[in-house]
Chain A
Amino acid sequence: MLIKLTGGTVYDPANGIDGQVRNLFIRDGRIVHSLNGATPDQEYDLRGKVVMAGAIDMHTHIGGGKVTIARNLLPEDHRADPEPRRGLMRAGCGHAAPSTLTTGYRYAEMGYTAGFEPAVLPINARQAHMEMADVPLLDVGGYVMLGSDDFFLRLLSAGSDQKLINDYVAWTIRSAKAIGIKVVNPGGISAFKFNQRMLDLDEKHVYYGVTPRQILKSLARAVHELGVPHPLHVHGCNLGVPGNVETTLNTISGIEGLPMHLTHIQFHSYGVEGDRKFSSGAARIAEAINANKNITIDVGQILFGQTVTASGDSMRQHANAGHAHPDKWVCMDIECDAGCGVVPFKYRDKNFVNALQWCIGLETFLLIDDPWRVFLTTDHPNGAPFTTYPHLIRLLMDKSFRNDMLATINPEAAALSTLGSIDREYSLYEIAIMTRAGAARLLGLTDRGHLGAGAAADITVYTDQADKEKMFTRPDYVFKDGELVVRNGEVVKVVWGNLHTVQPEFDNGIEARLRDYFDRYHTMKLDNFVINDWEIEGDGRSKILVHPCHQGTRS
Chain B
Amino acid sequence: MTDKTSAKVWENVPSPFCGIASDDLRIEVCGSSVRVLANGDAVTVPGFERPVTDTAPRIAGEPASLEDAVRRAAEILKEARLPVFSGFGTDVNDTRAALALIDKVRGIFDQARAAGGVRNLLALADSGWIATTLAEVKNRVEVLLVFGSDVEAAFPRFFERFVWNRETLFGQDPARREVICVGRAPSGDAAVSPDGRRPQVVECDPRHLPELAAALSALARGASLQAETVGGIPVVVLRGIVERLRRSSYSVVTWVAGQLDFAHADLTVQQVCQMVALLNKETRAAVLPLGGQDGDRTASQVCAWLTGYPTRVSFARGFPEYDPYLNDASRLLKDGEADALVWVSSLSPAPPPAAEVPTVVIGRSGMQFDEEPEVYIPVGVPGIDHAGHMYRCDNVVAMPLYALRDCGLTTAAAVLAAIEQSL
User: A residues bordering B, Cβ < 8 Å?
Assistant: 63, 65, 67-69, 71-75, 78-79, 82-85, 90-93, 97-102, 121, 123-124, 126-127, 130-131, 134, 150, 192-195, 207, 318, 324, 327-337, 342, 520-525, 527-528, 531-532, 534-535, 538-539
- Collect the chain B residues with CB atoms within 8 Å of residue A527's CB: 12
User: B residues bordering A, Cβ < 8 Å?
Assistant: 12, 14, 20-21, 23-24, 92-93, 96, 100, 103-104, 121, 124-136, 138-140, 161-162, 166-170, 249-250, 280, 283-284, 286, 301, 304-310, 315, 317-322, 387, 389, 391, 395-400
Contact of B103 among A74, A85, A123, A328 (CB under 8 A): A85
B304 adjacent to A72 (CB under 8 Å): yes
CA distance A124 to B284 in the complex (A): 23
- Collect the chain A residues with CB atoms within 8 Å of residue B170's CB: 207
Q: Whose C-beta in chain B lies nearest to the C-beta of A63?
A: B305
Instruction: Kindly list 18 other residue pairs between chains A and B, CB separation below 8 angstroms, not including A72-B304, A92-B308, A333-B284.
Output: A65-B395, A67-B305, A71-B308, A72-B310, A84-B318, A92-B320, A93-B319, A121-B396, A123-B397, A126-B398, A127-B391, A194-B284, A195-B283, A328-B127, A330-B129, A331-B130, A525-B23, A534-B387
CA distance A91 to B315 in the complex (A): 8
B92 adjacent to A130 (CB under 8 Å): yes
- Collect the chain B residues with CB atoms within 8 Å of residue A192's CB: 284
CA distance A124 to B304 in the complex (A): 16
Contact of B135 among A331, A336, A525 (CB under 8 A): A336
A335 adjacent to B135 (CB under 8 Å): yes
Q: Whose C-beta in chain A lies nearest to the C-beta of B135?
A: A335
CA distance A428 to B93 in the complex (A): 42
A539 adjacent to B319 (CB under 8 Å): no
Interface residues of B: mostly helix, strand, loop or mixed?
A: mixed
Report if A521-B139 is in contact (Cβ < 8 Å); known contacts: A72-B310, A90-B103: yes
B318 adjacent to A91 (CB under 8 Å): yes
Q: Can you list 14 A-B pairs with a CB-CB distance of less than 8 A?
A: A72-B304, A73-B128, A82-B320, A84-B319, A91-B103, A91-B318, A92-B308, A124-B398, A150-B139, A332-B130, A335-B136, A336-B169, A523-B134, A534-B387
A-B interface, 6 closest residue pairs, ranked by CB to CB distance from nearest: A93-B308, A82-B319, A335-B135, A78-B308, A328-B128, A84-B319
CA distance A68 to B125 in the complex (A): 12
Contact of A123 among B21, B23, B125, B396 (CB under 8 A): B396
A131 adjacent to B319 (CB under 8 Å): no
B309 adjacent to A78 (CB under 8 Å): yes
B136 adjacent to A336 (CB under 8 Å): yes
B389 adjacent to A75 (CB under 8 Å): no
B128 adjacent to A332 (CB under 8 Å): no
CA distance A93 to B12 in the complex (A): 39
CA distance A387 to B286 in the complex (A): 35
A193 adjacent to B319 (CB under 8 Å): no
- Collect the chain B residues with CB atoms within 8 Å of residue A72's CB: 121, 124-125, 304, 309-310
Q: Whose C-beta in chain B lies nearest to the C-beta of A130?
A: B92
A336 adjacent to B139 (CB under 8 Å): yes
CB distance from A531 to the nearest CB of B (A): 8
- Collect the chain B residues with CB atoms within 8 Å of residue A331's CB: 130-131
CB distance from A12 to the nearest CB of B (A): 35
Q: Whose C-beta in chain B lies nearest to the C-beta of A332?
A: B131
B169 adjacent to A525 (CB under 8 Å): no
Contact of A71 among B14, B167, B305, B321 (CB under 8 A): B305
A130 adjacent to B133 (CB under 8 Å): no
Interface centre among A78, A324, A532, by most chain B C-beta atoms within 10 angstroms, is: A78
A65 adjacent to B396 (CB under 8 Å): yes
CB distance from B280 to the nearest CB of A (A): 7
B305 adjacent to A100 (CB under 8 Å): yes
CA distance A71 to B307 in the complex (A): 9
- Collect the chain B residues with CB atoms within 8 Å of residue A78's CB: 308-309, 320, 322
CB distance from A67 to the nearest CB of B (A): 7
A333 adjacent to B286 (CB under 8 Å): yes
- Collect the chain A residues with CB atoms within 8 Å of residue B395's CB: 65, 68-69
- Collect the chain A residues with CB atoms within 8 Å of residue B166's CB: 520
Contact of B131 among A102, A127, A328, A330 (CB under 8 A): A330
CA distance A90 to B136 in the complex (A): 38
B396 adjacent to A332 (CB under 8 Å): yes
CA distance A101 to B103 in the complex (A): 12
B168 adjacent to A521 (CB under 8 Å): yes
CB distance from B247 to the nearest CB of A (A): 12
CA distance A195 to B20 in the complex (A): 27
B396 adjacent to A127 (CB under 8 Å): yes
A99 adjacent to B398 (CB under 8 Å): no
Contact of B320 among A65, A93, A134 (CB under 8 A): A93
Q: Whose C-beta in chain A lies nearest to the C-beta of B127?
A: A328
CA distance A523 to B168 in the complex (A): 12
Interface centre among A124, A131, A192, A524, by most chain B C-beta atoms within 10 angstroms, is: A524
B301 adjacent to A127 (CB under 8 Å): yes
A100 adjacent to B306 (CB under 8 Å): yes
CA distance A524 to B398 in the complex (A): 10
CA distance A84 to B317 in the complex (A): 8
CB distance from A523 to the nearest CB of B (A): 4
- Collect the chain A residues with CB atoms within 8 Å of residue B389's CB: 126, 130, 535
CA distance A72 to B280 in the complex (A): 23
CA distance A71 to B131 in the complex (A): 16
CA distance A193 to B125 in the complex (A): 24
Contact of A330 among B124, B136, B301 (CB under 8 A): B124
